[in-house]
Amino acid sequence: MSLVILLVQFRVSILMSASATMAAIIADSQNCFIIILLCLFSLLCYYFIFKKPKNSRLVAYGCDLSPSPPSLPIIGHSHLLLSSLAHKSLQKLSSKYGPLLHLRIFNFPVVLVSSSSMAYEIFKAHDLNISSRDNPSIDDSILIGTSVFGSAPYGDYFKFMKKLLVTKLLGPQALERSRGIRASELERFHSNLLDKAMKKESVEIGKEATKIINNSLWRMSMGRSFSEKNGEAERIRGLVTELDGLTKKVLFATLLRKPLEKLGISLFKKEIMCVSNSFDEVLERVLAEHEQKLDEHQDRDMVDVLLAAYGDENAEHKISRNHIKAFFVELLFAGTDTSAQSIQWTMAEIISNPNIFERLREEIDSVVGKTRLIQETDLPKLPYLQAVVKEGLRLHPPLPLFVRTFQEGCKIGGFYVPEKTTLVGNAYVMMRDPNVWEDPEEFKPERFLPSSRLGQEDERREQVLKYIPFGSGRRGCPGSNLGYIFIETAVGLMVQCFDWRIKGDKVNMDEAGGLNLSMAHPLKCTLVPRS
Ligand code: HEM
């Protein structure tokens, strides 16, 4: 018995010492792991904190980097650039430290531009240098990456697509050809609103605006729309909204691209691929439909032209199927939310300012009358409507920040900007600059009425300096004319045909966080048809 106990004790002690050894090994390997982590962390700290950007060029340019406000250890100014209302955090920063600031995301340089004169200098002297955007890339994604037109470097592919975009969709002649599509969508928009008015249902203006713009863009660019009846159209709009929800994350990934690439991390890949795959599925169907009818088409739309280039070995520029799909997603995205948000903000301003509403209605009544709906050809005769829309875009630019990359080092405002610096332009601040705009926070459309003070050319030149809701230069928005048409016709029709009532006595104008400037409380109204 005692032997048995001894044996048992022996086994237990062996087991105990074995487990103690194991524990020691595990503890050792844990320590080892922690030590390795600490080493890596220290290396990163060293790299991000102490390693300064190469500044041998500073000497060559004979000037210093622009001022840099206090920053946090390691992350630098990342928290400001990625905060929920980034344009406002950056506004505070520039009002305190100046219009040209050198910021950093970890150790990667960012130049923040907040005055229109500084932006003008950059666009005038360095437009080519800033005509690319170095966005992150996810292989196979048609949302972000090398296939996306907006991320393409300023080279052959970009020029080929831009030419096509202008000749087939956004140039003056193309817009004239597609006028009928927009007219029928405007009528559909009117009957939708009328239907809601009759049923005394409330209307979410942003949602209705998204419908008309989405439908118009699909029909203009791909020659087809999606059915409202089987939920197809709603699904596409849902995808555009999901994509919109991803923009903040894409900005996050864009700004953190360089440090993350070094660590081999691809941020938000799963979510981005999920939306990307859904778009892919829809667009594959559209391409297949066009491929079946490629030879029958007399009047070739953009899909036909792109498919022909895709199948042509000797095409001016070789494009992939992903290029085509990415291009349409971008068009839909770039055109829909921007225009829909502008319609919503402008209506919010008009409803909050009954005098402006009345003046606008008088102008429309006097030019269009009361027996027909406003149409595109009326717009040149409606200067006050144009001024109202411009003022809406000034106060509420749908894209308050624009992002580019300096391909080469250069000198701006007397300061050195290193190559590969990310440029962030705060259009929101520029268009509310009290040194440039009188009563910048007030909604005053009159400021955009043609004045007798200046000739048309002087006026245009003066505005180029300070009014940039569509960005500027070679990579400025190619859809500005279409954007104005969408907003002016939709706002004009809503003022011409209905009286608008809101809950409470004031529209809540708070801004929501995100890359696109949207309303924190979407504008909901009830409407009464005009008698
Ligand atoms: C109110 C309406 C719109 C606003 C405020 C707006 C604003 C902008 C801004 C600020 C940019 C970046 C410009 C820059 O970096 O300098 C941009 C780019 C772009 N926009 Fe628009 N946009 C609008 C409507 C549209 C429409 C209707 C389309 C086409 C259907 C469109 C297509 C594009 C494209 C393709 C780009 C990328 C251009 C490039 O990378 O070269 N936009 N837009």
What pLDDT does 235 receive? 80
How many whole angstroms from 339 Cα to the centroid of ligand 1? 10
What values do phi and psi take at 511, rounded to 5? -95, 145
Most informative mutation of 134, 147, 475, 477 for ligand 1 (most atoms within 8 A of CB)? 477
Fill in the amino acid letter for 356.
Answer: I
Question: What's the predicted TM-score (pTM) here?
Answer: 0.85
Q: Is any atom of ligand 1 closer than 6 Å to the C-beta of 472?
A: yes
Looking from the CA of residue 402, the nearest atom of ligand 1 is 15
Distance CA 4, CA 12 (A): 12
Higher pLDDT, 9 or 313: 313
Provide the 3-class DSSP secondary structure of residue 423: strand
Q: What is the pLDDT of residues 452-468, one digit of tens each?
A: 555 566 656 556 668 99
Which DSSP helix (H) or strand (E) runs through 33?
A: helix 2-45
Q: Is any atom of ligand 1 closer than 6 Å to the C-beta of 338?
A: yes
Q: Is any atom of ligand 1 closer than 6 Å to the C-beta of 331?
A: yes
What value does the mean pLDDT of the chain take? 83
Give residue 237's Cα distance to chain centre: 16
What pLDDT does 1 receive? 35
Burial of 282 (0-12, 13-18, 19+ CB in 10 A): middle
Distance CA 192, CA 529 (A): 12
How many whole angstroms from 348 Cα to the centroid of ligand 1? 22
What pLDDT does 257 receive? 66
The top-scoring range by mean pLDDT among 162-166, 392-396, 465-469, 499-503 is 392-396
Average pLDDT for residues 214-230, to the nearest whole number?
82
User: Is the confidence at residue 428, as pLDDT, over 50?
Assistant: yes
Residue nearest to atom 9 of ligand 1 (CA): 470
Distance CA 90, CA 101 (A): 10
C-alpha pair distances (Å), 466 with each of 88, 118, 125, 341: 18, 10, 17, 21
Q: How many CA atoms lie within 13 A of 403 on its CB side?
A: 23
**Are the C-beta atoms of 437 and 462 separated by less than 8 Å?**
no
The count of other CB atoms within 10 Å of the CB of residue 529 is 11
Distance CA 209, CA 471 (A): 23
Residue nearest to atom 30 of ligand 1 (CA): 335
Residue nearest to atom 1 of ligand 1 (CA): 339
What values do phi and psi take at 8, rounded to 5? -60, -45
Q: Is any atom of ligand 1 closer than 6 Å to the C-beta of 470?
A: yes
What pLDDT does 8 receive? 34
Distance CA 412, CA 154 (A): 21
Q: What is the pLDDT of residues 320-355, one digit of tens each?
A: 888 898 899 888 888 999 999 999 999 999 999 999
What pLDDT does 258 receive? 66
Looking from the CA of residue 482, the nearest atom of ligand 1 is 27
C-alpha pair distances (Å), 462 with each of 116, 397, 425, 454: 11, 19, 19, 9
Q: What is the pLDDT of residues 124-142, one digit of tens each?
A: 999 999 998 876 666 667 7
Q: Is any atom of ligand 1 closer than 6 Å to the C-beta of 402?
A: yes
Distance CA 397, CA 390 (A): 10
CA angle 24/26/32 to nearest 5° reads: 100
DSSP per residue over 242-298, as a string? HHHHHHHHHHHHHHTHHHHHHHT--TTHHHHHHHHHHHHHHHHHHHHHHHHTTTT-S
Q: Is any atom of ligand 1 closer than 6 Å to the C-beta of 477?
A: yes
User: Is the confidence at residue 20, as pLDDT, over 50?
Assistant: no
Enumerate helices (H) and strands (E) in the chain, giving the number of each.
19, 9
Looking from the CA of residue 404, the nearest atom of ligand 1 is 15
Intra-chain end-to-end CA distance of the chain, in Å: 108
C-alpha pair distances (Å), 76 with each of 38, 84, 99, 308: 21, 17, 19, 48
- Residue 400 confidence class, pLDDT cut points 50, 70, 90: very high
Q: Is any atom of ligand 1 closer than 6 Å to the C-beta of 471?
A: yes
Looking from the CA of residue 152, the nearest atom of ligand 1 is 40
Distance CA 241, CA 367 (A): 36
What pLDDT does 299 receive? 63
- Residue 275 confidence class, pLDDT cut points 50, 70, 90: confident
Q: Is any atom of ligand 1 closer than 6 Å to the C-beta of 483?
A: yes
Residues 6+ apart with CB under 8 A from 528: 197, 498, 499, 501
What pLDDT does 61 receive? 67
The count of other CB atoms within 10 Å of the CB of residue 262 is 14
Q: Is any atom of ligand 1 closer than 6 Å to the C-beta of 406?
A: no
How many whole angstroms from 109 Cα to the centroid of ligand 1? 25
**From edge to edge, which strands make up the β-sheet containing 524-529?**
203-204, 524-529, 498-501
Distance CA 255, CA 232 (A): 34
What pLDDT does 43 receive? 54
The single-letter DSSP state of residue 48 is I
Fill in the amino acid letter for 38.
Answer: L
Average pLDDT for residues 284-312, to the nearest whole number?
81
